[in-house]
Every structure is written in C-alpha cells, then in structure tokens.
Amino acid sequence: MSLAAEPAPEQSCNGIANVDNTDVSAVSVTFNLDDSAEHHKEFPEDRFRDAIAKAVPTESDRIIILRVKCSEENSKLVVQFVVKKKDSEDELPFPKSALIDTSSIVAKMQARGHLSQLADLDVSKIEEVEQLVPVEGVGDNMKLAIIALAVGVGIILSCALGIFKVLRASRYHDIDDNAP
C-alpha cells in the first residue's frame, strides 16, 4: 500500500475524543518544574505513560494525553489525560462512554501516596478537571484587521501618488514639446 492511499494521521488531540469545546472530564497532573526537571529537554511522554499505566493499572497505549502545557512563568507543567476502556473500539473520535471514569483514576492515583514523582518530575497536584486547558490563547484579530487596513490604504495612496506624478510629468513634457 502506498503512502498516498493511506489517510492522513490524526494530528490534533482535539479530534481524539468526542467532546463539546473543551468540556470533558480528564485527569490533570501538575508538575513542579524545578532543578530536578532541568535534565529533560522535552516532556518524557513514554515514561509518564508507563508510570500512569502502573498506577491505574492499564496498558500504556490506552492512556490518551489530551493537553501538555506550561504555566506562564514556566514553573509548572500541566498534563491532562484520559484512559480508554479495554473493551472500547479504536475508532476516532472516542465517545465519552469509551473512557474510564476519571474520578476513579484520580482516586487510584491519590491512594498510592508514593506518586510524588512521575517520570522523574515532581508531582504538585493530581486532580479531576471538567475543562481542558486551552490549546492556545484567545486571540483577537482586530489588531490584524487594522494593520491590514492601514497597509491597504498606504498601497492605494502610493499608487495614486505615482499615477499623479506620472501624469503631471507627462503634461509638462507635452508643454515643452509645443513651445516655440
């Protein structure tokens, strides 16, 4: 089978679960990013999945990471995830019924008090959340519209001024040719 015949892979975690906007029950793990986390160049996803799989217990491929986001001051890392049921189908997007209840996952993880570290990162908080962190900040395109309008007006004025100068120079040239 050629690569062209295969469908494009799912790139966005927004298309994984069938949810309305960002309202979905998920497990949120907040990590403290202190000196102990400096040896990681990126989030150790595989080690995180393995640690969660041991705590919940489930297979690591059933853990679906929905969001990974740093706080504004880069002192905390928030990882939000859900766990897929064993008997659920692998068809995307997953309905909510195909996911394990997040409150039971949080209870299992909190009951194991030794989860102060996951994947060599210090855990600050484990909780159930009803709303995912936004993928990107809420942007306002008004500034871009004003800039585009200003550039458009500038281009139109430049063209009008150029045409005026050419016509004016042409008129003086005609007068010089008609002079005795």
Amino acid 121 reads L
pLDDT at 72 over 80: no
CATH of domain 11-131: 3.30.70
Listed by start position, the domains of the chain span 11-131, 139-180
- Say whether pLDDT at 111 is over 50: yes
Q: Could you give the 3-state DSSP secondary structure of residue 128?
A: strand
Crossing angle of helices 102-111/45-55, nearest 10°? 90
CB-based contact 132:68 (threshold 8 Å): no
d(CA 161, CA 155): 10
What's the mean pLDDT in 105-132?
77
Task: Give per-residue pLDDT as tens, 15-63.
Answer: 445 455 556 788 888 887 776 656 666 777 788 888 888 877 788 788 8
pLDDT at 133: 77
d(CA 94, CA 84): 8
Residue 149, pLDDT score: 96
